[in-house]
Structure 1
């Protein structure tokens, strides 16, 4: 049973492999040119099947009139192909994976496949269609298909802003620190992914969550918020890791998700509401939007100085970007078709693929530019809520074609401090890593200064220590008695013991035997050099006592019980050498 269900699930994919590369020959020649329009389940989009058919027919009339003005006997038509997804329990784009493939197979089998196809708006359905090599020769125009999985496809043209363009804007906006209202680079963000969301918001937020984009790779921190409770706690959490929150939806979604709680003054919420132009009316603001920047598309030929109180949309296409997208799809087809017919070049689906990209044509609301990958380029507008005018004003424009930013104002009346966007991290002081670096550097410098002072004053201290000499009255030095008089022979070299014998005179001071040295001045007025030398003898004796001697140095040298070093006893040769060094 499971195997049978698996076969039924993947059968549309494998059956489509039987499609031929060259298709639509009967519907794409002899001055009769057809474009196929797939009518799938559009419950995820703000349009109906009836309004979509009416929009396409109105666009076809404009294209047909253009050919009549040039005198060309050409017929341009559209064939609508509905698809029922009644087999699925849940409807919408989430279950549309196989629908596009199944529908294109049905169109081919019926022999009605024309020059191009206006395909599904759902990313899942579009991805399966463009992933099959069998239909690469058919140009596919989509009013949707926002996901990253549909980027850079050879035969796909997208007429609504894809997630890739939104990601690019956020990348440049985050790193820009030279704007008059933004002087710091942002490197952290929270991404709030709502449970109930539209098709475009689902893929916009999915792209921000992906780690393969340039935007995500440059971030040092990226957190995900999935519930309203997490969002409400984060906007008041003093220990949060970022002040910036990105969400997708409408002002009503902001109101419901934030609730009535207070939001910290440093919080910045970037609301992605690309296809909603209600912000350009006066008195359309709300207090709960004070901390919100809105990324959207401005209406065609919009100017803040000329619009506003009387800004009323009389055209349904202005209010609905999706219907405008289908209108532009027909105009694009007519624009390229006219170029081929005027130049008398053969028209084929394969030739049209390269024409549906890197071009500009006149759309229903103004010029439409497609980049080299077939994706639409726009001027994204970032809005803020003015505290004085109490309505939305443009903060900057971003051209997705050349990735250039144009600031609209130099004196924005933000709710944020100093009328500037805050830092992306909490707190106004330096980063903790910066504090640690400066603290460590201060400690190193302090230790270095202390070391230099010690090295500078140590010679002076030693010199002063050598100069400390107490005069010993001559009368306190007594001659030795006859029995105590002896000559000390200091042996220097075994070979010269017989030839060289140094006789030292001795005396008694403080009941101790001392060595007497001849000095030039016998009256006690010694020179500075002699005083220093005498003091060295005193210090040497003191050091000897501190290192293990228990009494006079002469007794220590003659004491065989003193062990130095490491348990070895001094022999007489070493003792005489030490005594000679002392005598010197």
Structure 2
């Protein structure tokens, strides 16, 4: 296949390519799923090896800057933000429950899951919209690397309405004006395959006919060598029986 899909970061992709020049060819398309990484927005400079790569990532709705240095007091990443925002939402749900009638609260055996479905709230990672299943809806971004080695958003996908919005209508990527085929050429056309099979069949049949012709010709030549003998004087020997021929020579 010409299409490769993997999860990870640009560093992981470089390890997979392992410095192969052919892996950077425009004949291939790599889809890198890197949802929780803001490097594509904070550092627009890309790498040469990323030119045949499309990156699927979260939208740039963060209200913070990712800092992966664990020794820093300002350490922050998407996982920490998600934990913070989930606790924030749970606190909001608890306040809603506490505002209800106390009798209703005492009769509540468990928290209704509908509090976490088909709702929305605001957090440090932006606005959250949860669907009827409790999954987050977002406008995922698909980013490519231009011929000038810069990250640029190609299109976005709205998971709530399953809609794609083209952002860059004139992309300058390695594939020209369109993305490559997701699979390589299937080989020669069907009629070429049929012609090839027929040609091989004709050759095989001709070879078999020639072998039989040579064998029959040899038999005819062998019979012709003894053609001066009267056929009535010739009797076949049975292969399954032991035939004894006695020759008696008399002196004159």
TM-score by structure 2 length?
Answer: 0.64
Instruction: Tell me what 1:436 maps to.
Output: 190
Higher helix residue share = 1
Are residues 1:322 and 2:83 paired?
no
CA distance in 1, matches of 2:192, 2:161: 41
4+ long deviations beyond 6 Å: 314-318, 437-440
Q: Identify if the C-alpha distance between structure 1 residues 393 and 270 changes in structure 2 by more than 3 Å, giving closer, same or farther.
A: same
Q: How far off its partner does 1:365 sit? A: 2.5
* Aligned residue runs from structure 1 range 477-516, under 5 A: none
Match of 1:265 among 12, 18, 26: 26
CA apart distance, 1:426? 2.1
> Displacement, 1:359?
1.1
What does residue 171 of structure 2 align with? 412
Q: 1:387 aligns with which of 136, 144, 147?
A: 147
Q: Structure 2 CA distance, aligned partners of 1:382 and 1:318? A: 27
Residue 422 of structure 1, aligned match among 150, 165, 180: 180
Q: Does 1:341 align with 2:102?
A: no
Distance 2:75 2:153 in 1: 19
| Counterpart check, 1:299 vs 2:60 | yes
RMSD of equivalent CA atoms: 2.9
In 2, Cα distance between equivalents of 1:282 and 1:272:
18
**Which aligned pairs between 1:6-85 and structure 2 lie closer than 5 A?**
none
For the 8 Å contact 1:278–1:284, the answer to whether it is kept is: no
1:380 match: secondary structure: strand
- In structure 1, the residue matched to 2:205 is none
Deviation per CA, 1:366-395: give whole Å up to 9, x if none: 22111111222222111000113x221111
Contact 2:38 2:66 in 1 (8 A): no
3-state SS of 1:340 partner: helix
Larger radius of gyration: 1
Shift of 1:351: 3.3
| Cα 1:402–1:353 shift into 2, 3 Å | same
Task: Tell me the TM-score normalised to structure 1 length.
Answer: 0.29
Distance 1:406 1:318 in 2: 34
The question of whether the paired residues in 1 share the 8 Å contact of 2:59 and 2:138 is answered with no
Q: What 5-or-longer segments of structure 1 have no aligned partner?
A: 1-241, 303-311, 441-584
SS at structure 2 position matched to 1:252: helix
Unaligned 5+ residue runs, structure 2? Answer: 69-73, 195-252
- Contact 2:2/2:181 (<8 A) preserved: yes
Whole-angstrom CA distance in 1 between matches of 2:160 and 2:191: 42
1:366-381 matches, within 5 Å, as 366-381=126-141
Structure 1 residues 436 and 426, CA gap change in structure 2 (3 angstroms): same
Relative to structure 1, is the Cα distance of residues 243 and 250 closer, same or farther in structure 2, using a 3 angstrom cutoff? same
**Paired positions, count:** 184
Q: What secondary structure is seen at the aligned counterpart in 1 of 2:140?
A: strand
CA displacement at 1:269 relative to structure 2: 0.2
Provide closer, same or farther for how the CA distance between residues 258 and 315 of structure 1 changes in structure 2, counting only shifts above 3 A.
Answer: closer
